[in-house]
Amino acid sequence: MSPTEVLSEAFELGFTYTRSTGPVVGRFLTGLRDRRIEGVRASDGRVIVPPMEYDSDTAAALDDFVEVGQQGEIVSWCWVSEPRRAHPLQQPFAWAMIKLDGADVAMIHCVSAASESQLATGARVKVRWAEETRGHIKDIACFELAEVTQ
């Protein structure tokens, strides 16, 4: 019997379309590419970062953009001692709700720290930018403690 010829073809499962992120999410992501962080002012005046397209309470369309700081304060956090394969950091790290200077609503991102004992609610953190920014939430590689030399 002759050896069987196995037919094969590369296959990539993917979505073959692109989608516009629009004037609010798109503006935020473009800002990240330029290493700026912008939020939006809600109907009640609070600054929400990342910006939302519509106000949760009034449903008003939001377009009053405000640049906020690249440092902030931890509002809540948890310690991931065993990172999952999908997680952005593969060393033990924290997820945190971080209220950036000039913002009224926290944002969720990861915090790189050497150990759980370095972290606390109220701790100051600062952005660590990715080496290459491309207009994506992961342009913020992570946050790190602002007042600890690692």
Partner 1 sequence: MSGLKAMSAQRDIAIVAFHQSDCQASAGATNEVELIMPEIRAVMDQVGLHNAQDVDFVCSGSCDYLQGAAFAFVAGVDALGAVPPIRESHVEMDAAWALYESVLKIRMGHADSALIYGFAKSSPGELPIVLSQQLDPYYLAPLWVDTVSLAAMQARLMLDAGKITEADMAAVVSRSRRNAMNNPHAQLAGDLSVEALLQEAPFVSPLRRHDCSPVSDGASAMIIATVEQAEAWGKPYAILRGIDHRIESHNLCTRDLTDSPSTRRAAEAAGVADGAIDVAELYAPFSHQEIILSRALGLGEGTRVNPSGGVLAGNLMMASGLSRVGEVFQRIVSGEARRGVAHATSGPCLQHNLVAVVEAA
In terms of DSSP bridges, do strands 140-145 and 107-112 run parallel, antiparallel, or are they unpaired? Answer: parallel
Cβ proximity to partner 1, 96 vs 125, nearer residue: 96
CB atoms within 10 A of CB 139: 19
Q: How many residues does the chain have?
A: 150
Cβ proximity to partner 1, 35 vs 138, nearer residue: 138
Provide the CA 143 distance to its chain's centre, in angstroms.
9
Nearest alpha carbon to residue 142 among 150, 41, 102, 27: 150
Q: Which of residues 27-66 bind partner 1 (CB under 8 A)?
A: 29, 48, 50, 52, 56
CB 62 within 8 A of CB 88: no
Cβ proximity to partner 1, 10 vs 13, nearer residue: 13
Cβ proximity to partner 1, 19 vs 147, nearer residue: 19
Contact between 76 and partner 1 per CB under 8 A: yes
Radius of gyration of the chain (CA): 20
Cβ proximity to partner 1, 21 vs 71, nearer residue: 21
Closest distance of CB 86 from partner 1, Å: 4
Closest distance of CB 101 from partner 1, Å: 15
Select from 27, 71, 116, 124 the one that contacts partner 1 (CB under 8 A).
116
CB atoms within 10 A of CB 93: 23
Instruction: Determine the size of the site formed for partner 1 (CB under 8 A).
Output: 32
Select from 121, 128, 129, 148 the one that contacts partner 1 (CB under 8 A).
121
